[in-house]
Amino acid sequence: MSWSLNEIETLSRKAARGAGLSWGLAEEAGKAARWLTAAGLPGPQVLADLLTRNDGADYETLCPMEADEGRWVARGGTLCPLISGAVLCDNAQRLGTGDLTLGRTAAPMLLLPYLDAAARQCGSSLTVRWNGTTVTLGNNAQAMGDSLDTPMADQITIASSTAEKAANPLPQHNRGDMPANVAQCLKAFAERTYAPETEESRLSGAGAGLTDND
Partner 1 sequence: MQLHRLGSFHQSRLSFMRILLRRLEGEAWTFDRPVFDIDACGVGRAVYSAHGPDRSYSLVAFANDLPPEKRSDRVIATEWDATFTLFDGVPTTADLDRLQDNVPKQEAGRVSEKELSLSRANRSVRLWEHVVERLSQGQQPERQKVADVGYLMRTTAVYGSGKFGAADREMTADRPEFLAPFQVEMLSVFLTRAFVMDLVEHMAKMRAPDTAVPLDPDLRRRFGIGNSTGLGMAPFLLNHPALLNNWIGAREEALSRIRNLETAHAPEVENFRRFALRARLHAEEWHSEHPVQIEKLAALRHDMAALLAHLDSTDLTADMPWNRLWLWAEDALSVEGQELLASLLMEPYPHLVDGMATCMAADEPATWRINGAMPLDELRALVEDIYGWALAIDWTVREAQARVWYTSEAKLEPRLGERFEEELDAYEQPLCPGRDAARMYADLQGSEEATVAGFLMRHPEHRHVARRAQIAGRLPYAEIRDNTIDASVMPIDMLRLKLSFFGACHFDPRSDRWVRINMYQHAPFPHELGERSGDDWAYPFLKGGVV
Give the closest residue to 35 by CA, choosing from 120, 92, 106, 103.
Answer: 120
* CB of residue 131 to partner 1, shortest distance in Å: 26
CB count within 10 Å of CB 64 equals 21
| Beta partners for residue 176, in sequence order | 3
Binding window for partner 1 (CB under 8 A); candidates: 41-49, 150-158, 179-187, 200-208? 200-208
Contact 84, 111 (CB under 8 A): yes
* 55 or 191: CB nearest partner 1: 191
Using CB under 8 A as the binding rule, the residues of this chain from 24 to 43 that contact partner 1 are 24-25, 27
Give the CA distances from residue 150 to residues 49, 69, 108, 120, in Å, rounded to whole numbers and listed in that order.
11, 27, 7, 25
Q: Are strands 71-74 and 133-137 parallel, antiparallel or unpaired?
A: unpaired
CB distance 79 to 106 below 8 Å: yes
Strands 71-74 and 64-68, by their bridges, are antiparallel
Q: Which is nearer to partner 1, 162 or 213 (CB)?
A: 213
Residue 112 in contact with partner 1, rule: CB under 8 A:
no
* Number of chain positions touching partner 1 (CB under 8 A): 47
Q: Based on the shown chain and the rule CB under 8 A, indicate whether residue 23 belongs to the binding site for partner 1.
A: yes
Subset of residues 78 to 107 that bind partner 1, contact rule: CB under 8 A: 83, 86-87, 89-93
Nearer to partner 1, 56 or 207 (CB): 207
Stretch that binds partner 1, among 22-30, 40-48, 149-157, 159-167 (CB under 8 A): 22-30
**Under the phi-then-psi rule, with left for phi > 0, alpha for psi from -120 to 50, and beta for the rest, what region is 147?**
alpha
User: Rule CB under 8 A: is residue 121 a binding residue for partner 1?
Assistant: yes
Residues near partner 1 (CB under 8 A) are: 1-7, 21-25, 27, 59, 63-64, 83, 86-87, 89-93, 117, 121, 174-175, 191, 193-198, 200-202, 204-209, 212-214
